[in-house]
A and B are shown apart, each in its own frame.
Chain A
């Protein structure tokens, strides 16, 4: 052991950890460990109050290392490194233990064993902290350009925002034309803005900018390099173009759920999906017609492919109630006297969109609630469609509705693009949409530094929400690049010259040519360039004499962690 003075903080995470892990038991188990000056539990380690408490402890108790056992380091490693820094402690003297994602949440079924595991994990964190060293970051210059993938409303809005901030933008659009979904829309909720006009005005403004270039029929096929300095390759109509950018914003939008044949009569005549109905009400003037026949009555079936236990998607895709309500209002304006039945499970016209719901009711739309277990049936009847539904709010009375048109209010779905996922390697969530680091704390950042997500590629969203997230991604990437440099982790490999005998194995193993030969006394030894080393550590296992260590996970630290988690078989 050594004379380190450590502080250990065990987070309840408001129950996310403490509901399954006995945090007090963990604290008691580690409080007496050598070097541990203070061990505390806290409701939220990331709260301002606890951060200040840790700072006070570091300064008051003269701590030279801290361990916070809380959530995944992807979420709060930087938070607590910041805490250390503000207290005057080198941020690399901080160790995070992941008690949430890698313990409590994975073992909700076995709390007693989860608590035992947590003790071992915190002990390993303490063991690692005993051997931390103060380290300094290295800086690299950033390239003030951004690649935006997708030229829908999200991508175009992000491009303009970046251009405003003086950052050059390349936009890569897979389709032949920029504009995305909104570029094909007429009237949009809530203010009847015209989608085509909206996209038109964005494109007109973009044309005026010297620092935005749009590539259509373009696909991102390669990416290499680091945050702040990526080399990306686009395939544009068969030709390859290499672009050097500092950050990437992914704004690839959504797809629409395609009902299976026979699902609510899908596939038979006069049964259409929400996008098809939207197109119908957007185009032409005067009373609605479908395939040459006047439309006098419509039945809307909500939650098609959404909130399903079995087929379709489990999530609510949130925009569809509003979009359906608005399309119904536009349809009503075009065809006065149009009879409209809304067959719904729950209406989620959140926020100000409640007004659309209210207006639809005032204008005579009839709302009929059904349950997922007892969905409406759509059958051909008398040259039209008959929808049979049990009205939950009227004693489950069965209603037969003969309508000219049935509209299936279909869910938003993630757009699957295997090439893009392969190239960018950003995680997707269980719903299939690209996943941010944290929905509230870091909503447009991904685990891949310098790669941001925005719009409906990330979650079901309407155009205004997508544009807002586009601005967020633009602000985040501009903040990254405007600084002119990024600081790279100092967690790189080092050579102990007293042990090294220069055999050349390490320099052969390094793909970055970071290792060279240098004189040391009367011998030659290996030396590792701090600017070139990426910190993979691949040189360490090939060293015959064990002279190479990776900072942040040294041989001594790893073995101390294993010792701390030692298993005793009885």
Chain B
């Protein structure tokens, strides 16, 4: 359990909690590279590794949003996917299905984001985390689950 308290150092402010589904063969490597390059992003970003982004169930995304996460980010393999040539399209369909379910529950579809993170995409990953956090801050707590 992570408790979002308000007594953070002032310069940090309240950071949105982001769950990242990352792939253990490709995007985790890029995310690891971000860490080993000491590229900072918010410590409120946590990870669940999966085999391939096309294997993510839409209900997991809804489940995470229901458990207090402000946003879910899918770090997909894009064209680097070792399994599926059309992985991007398949993952996009999963995102579409999840966003439909989110709309039904009054959750802003912007709380789910997907991007290709390759095995050397350290800087793009860190940038995505900053941008996604900013857009979640802009959304406020209104359109959150629960």
Q: A538-B55, A538-B83, A541-B58 are in contact. Are A561 and B67 (CB under 8 A)?
A: no
In the complex, the answer to whether B32 meets A98 with C-beta atoms within 8 Å is yes
In the complex, the answer to whether B51 meets A541 with C-beta atoms within 8 Å is no
Q: A117-B46, A534-B83, A565-B19 are in contact. Are A107 and B55 (CB under 8 A)?
A: no
Q: A98-B32, A106-B39, A550-B55 are in contact. Are A562 and B19 (CB under 8 A)?
A: yes
In the complex, the answer to whether B49 meets A569 with C-beta atoms within 8 Å is no
Q: A124-B48, A559-B63, A568-B3 are in contact. Are A116 and B43 (CB under 8 A)?
A: yes
What is the interface of chain A, defined by CB distance below 8 A to chain B?
72-74, 98, 100-110, 112-114, 116-117, 120-121, 123-124, 425-428, 430, 447, 491, 509, 511, 534-541, 546, 550, 552-553, 555, 558-559, 561-570
Q: A120-B2, A538-B54, A569-B4 are in contact. Are A101 and B48 (CB under 8 A)?
A: no
Contacts of A107 in B (CB 8 A): 40, 43
Q: Mark B102-115, 1 if CB is under 8 A from A, else 0.
A: 00000000000000
Closest chain A CB from B34 CB (angstroms): 6
Closest chain B CB from A85 CB (angstroms): 20
In the complex, the answer to whether A541 meets B54 with C-beta atoms within 8 Å is yes
Q: Mark B66-78, 1 if CB is under 8 A from A, else 0.
A: 0111100000000
Contact of A553 among B17, B31, B51, B83 (CB under 8 A): B51
Closest chain B CB from A531 CB (angstroms): 16
CA distance A49 to B136 in the complex (A): 46
Q: A541-B58, A569-B68 are in contact. Are A102 and B47 (CB under 8 A)?
A: yes
CB neighbors of A among B54-107 (8 A): 54-58, 60, 63-64, 67-70, 80-81, 83-85, 87, 90, 94, 97
Contact of B84 among A116, A426, A538, A550 (CB under 8 A): A538
Q: A101-B32, A536-B52 are in contact. Are A565 and B46 (CB under 8 A)?
A: yes
Contacts of B19 in A (CB 8 A): 562, 565
What are 24 inter-chain pairs, A to B, with CB distance below 8 A? Answer: A73-B28, A98-B28, A101-B36, A102-B31, A103-B35, A103-B43, A106-B41, A107-B43, A109-B40, A113-B43, A117-B44, A124-B48, A537-B54, A537-B55, A540-B55, A541-B57, A541-B94, A546-B57, A550-B51, A553-B49, A566-B67, A567-B68, A568-B4, A569-B68
CA distance A188 to B44 in the complex (A): 54
Contacts of A563 in B (CB 8 A): 67
CA distance A537 to B83 in the complex (A): 10
Contacts of A121 in B (CB 8 A): 46-47
In the complex, the answer to whether A536 meets B24 with C-beta atoms within 8 Å is no
In the complex, the answer to whether B56 meets A541 with C-beta atoms within 8 Å is yes
In the complex, the answer to whether B5 meets A570 with C-beta atoms within 8 Å is yes
Contact of B40 among A106, A561, A562, A565 (CB under 8 A): A106
Contacts of B25 in A (CB 8 A): 447
CA distance A103 to B55 in the complex (A): 25
CA distance A5 to B78 in the complex (A): 39
Closest chain A CB from B93 CB (angstroms): 9
CB neighbors of A among B1-55 (8 A): 1-6, 8-9, 12, 17, 19, 24-26, 28-44, 46-52, 54-55
Closest chain B CB from A382 CB (angstroms): 49
CA distance A486 to B42 in the complex (A): 40
13 more CB-based (< 8 A) A-B contacts, given A123-B1, A567-B3: A98-B47, A102-B31, A106-B34, A106-B35, A121-B46, A425-B80, A535-B51, A535-B83, A538-B55, A540-B55, A562-B64, A565-B46, A570-B3
Q: Which of B36, B43, B119 has the most CB of A within 10 A?
A: B43
In the complex, the answer to whether A562 meets B60 with C-beta atoms within 8 Å is yes
CA distance A566 to B46 in the complex (A): 11
Contacts of B119 in A (CB 8 A): 425-427, 447
Contact of B2 among A425, A509, A567 (CB under 8 A): A567
Contacts of A447 in B (CB 8 A): 25, 29, 119
Q: A537-B55, A541-B56, A558-B60 are in contact. Are A101 and B4 (CB under 8 A)?
A: no
Closest chain B CB from A178 CB (angstroms): 30
Which residue of B is nearest A557, CB measured? B48
CA distance A124 to B24 in the complex (A): 16
Contacts of B60 in A (CB 8 A): 555, 558-559, 562
Q: A120-B2, A124-B46, A562-B64 are in contact. Are A555 and B54 (CB under 8 A)?
A: no
Which residue of B is nearest A112, CB measured? B9
In the complex, the answer to whether B37 meets A430 with C-beta atoms within 8 Å is yes
Q: Which of A113, A511, A536 has the most CB of B within 10 A?
A: A536
Contacts of A546 in B (CB 8 A): 57
In the complex, the answer to whether B28 meets A72 with C-beta atoms within 8 Å is yes
Contacts of B42 in A (CB 8 A): 113
In the complex, the answer to whether A566 meets B1 with C-beta atoms within 8 Å is yes
Which residue of A is nearest B90, CB measured? A538
In the complex, the answer to whether A106 meets B67 with C-beta atoms within 8 Å is no
Which residue of B is nearest A123, CB measured? B1
Q: Which of B5, B36, B70 has the most CB of A within 10 A?
A: B36
Closest chain B CB from A218 CB (angstroms): 24
Contacts of B38 in A (CB 8 A): 105-106, 108
In the complex, the answer to whether A536 meets B55 with C-beta atoms within 8 Å is yes
CA distance A395 to B48 in the complex (A): 59
Which residue of B is nearest A119, CB measured? B2
In the complex, the answer to whether A566 meets B55 with C-beta atoms within 8 Å is no
Contacts of A112 in B (CB 8 A): 9
Contacts of B8 in A (CB 8 A): 113
Q: A120-B1, A566-B1 are in contact. Are A72 and B84 (CB under 8 A)?
A: no
In the complex, the answer to whether A113 meets B12 with C-beta atoms within 8 Å is yes
